[in-house]
Amino acid sequence: MKLTIIGTGYVGLVTGACFAEMGSHVTCVDIDTEKINNLKKGVLPIYEPGLEKLVQENMADGTLVFSSNLIQAAADCQIFVIAVGTPPGEDGSADLQYVLKVAGQIGQHMNDYAVVVDKSTVPVGTADKVAKVIQKELDRRGSDLAFDVVSNPEFLKEGAAINDFLKPDRIIVGANSKRAAKIMSRLYAPFSMNRDKMILMNVRDAEMTKYAANAMLATKISFMNEIANICEQLGVDVENVRKGIGSDTRIGYSFIYPGCGYGGSCFPKDVKALIKTSKDTGVDPLVLAAVENRNNHQKMVLGSKITIRFGTDLSGRCFALWGLAFKPGTDDMREAASLMLLKDLICANATVYAYDPVAMAQAARELPQEWLESGRLVLANDQYQALENADAMILVTEWKTFRRPDFKRMGQLLNQKIIFDGRNQYDPEEVAEFGFEYHGIGREAFHPADL
């Protein structure tokens, strides 16, 4: 099948590469000519495990091409996939200007019946707006071409997106016509060889499903973080509580790991957008508002622990920060817990040496240049260099390389043997055996003297 995917960000690239891998002929279009030129050379604008190899292989096979010319890409195209950004507006609503602009361009250049797929995360009712814009352009052309707008939300985890797409749990398709549903079924047939994974529903149901899924996962995270904070005040180890409730199959272990808050491009934005939608419909979003509020507060927990331990004025203090990305497996720093912590520490006059296995280039571009130029923030070459003469190590992102560090070497490099574990990766008793003072999330502080 011939697809045109508009937008070569995270969703567009993964979608294009995976459809091409399964035999479709895919053209990925973007107005950013520099990005397109780099992609033609095999240089990707994002980090995602396995994606670069997949892109390069399918380019070599001729099933995946990149272009900045939508007119050429639209020729004889049966499926258009909209995968552009929907950034949050000041009121929390999803900004649809890029989606609707692309819809207009599709209406201007389509030359046969087409299915237009909303892959971007969009509020309920967006498909109606997209259809209206496309029809307006067709009317201007005096064209009677037929089309259908379909909602096909993505459910990709950054760091595992290729596997998620090629081996999906479910494929949500919102279609209001049998013709569009049949085309989408054929498109996804290679992904459902073992069993039919497609769940068909109407368009508005599919649009809501995406928001509800992300909001539910965010709710589990915020709930567990709130339990962790209660546990800490009661002298309870939240990790034992997590294991106890996770063993209940009705709850499960997924997304109940306490930490320093969720981030990324999806959960924060989608919770905000659903709160706005809820208010617009006259429903008071009590649970959603609490989820967002808890997450905002959770990002301040590590900073609070540090100031309780060292005082509010951190002049002369140096800290090693392990992890800048919002989660392992990606270089994405959007809404990352590290950003709030860095701001708190630097505003308190501390110096921070930071390291991340993947996000260093992103950090150099995105973090305030005054932090870097003043020397208040130094991007270290490796995780152990960041520790040299630091007063404490702070773990923010649970990369595998951080999970079993050399504690003896750490003790030799640090000025003080103190660990702030923002993801509860370490056993307090084990680190205490190496002489470390330990501060986790939802756990009482543990000292060598407590052994």
Write the CB contacts of 417 (distance below 8 Å, at least 6 apart in sequence): 410, 411, 434, 435, 436, 437
Q: Give the integer Cα–Cα distance in Å for 355 and 257.
A: 23
Nearest in space to 14 (alpha carbons), one of 216, 227, 180, 163: 163
Q: Which residue has the tokens 């106890």?
A: 244
Q: Cβ distance 92 to 54 under 8 Å? A: no
For 114, phi then psi, to 5°, come to -145, 150
The gap from C-alpha 384 to its chain's centroid, in whole angstroms, comes to 27
Q: Which of 395, 448, 450 has its CA nearest to residue 426?
A: 395
Marked catalytic residue, from 28, 231, 260, 266: 266
Q: Is 266 a catalytic residue?
A: yes
The DSSP code for 94 is: B
Place of tokens 């709850």: 251
Q: Give dist(CA 413, CA 66) in Å, integer.
A: 48
**Residue 6 three-state SS:** strand
- With b for 16 or more beta-carbon neighbours within 10 A and e for fewer, the 291-306 pattern comes to bbebbeebbebbbebb
Give strand ranges (E) for 247-399: 318-322, 351-355, 377-379, 392-395
Burial class (CB in 10 A: 0-12, 13-18, 19+), 375: exposed
Which H/E stretch holds residue 201?
strand 198-201
The identity of residue 68, as a single letter, is S
Catalytic center residues: 266
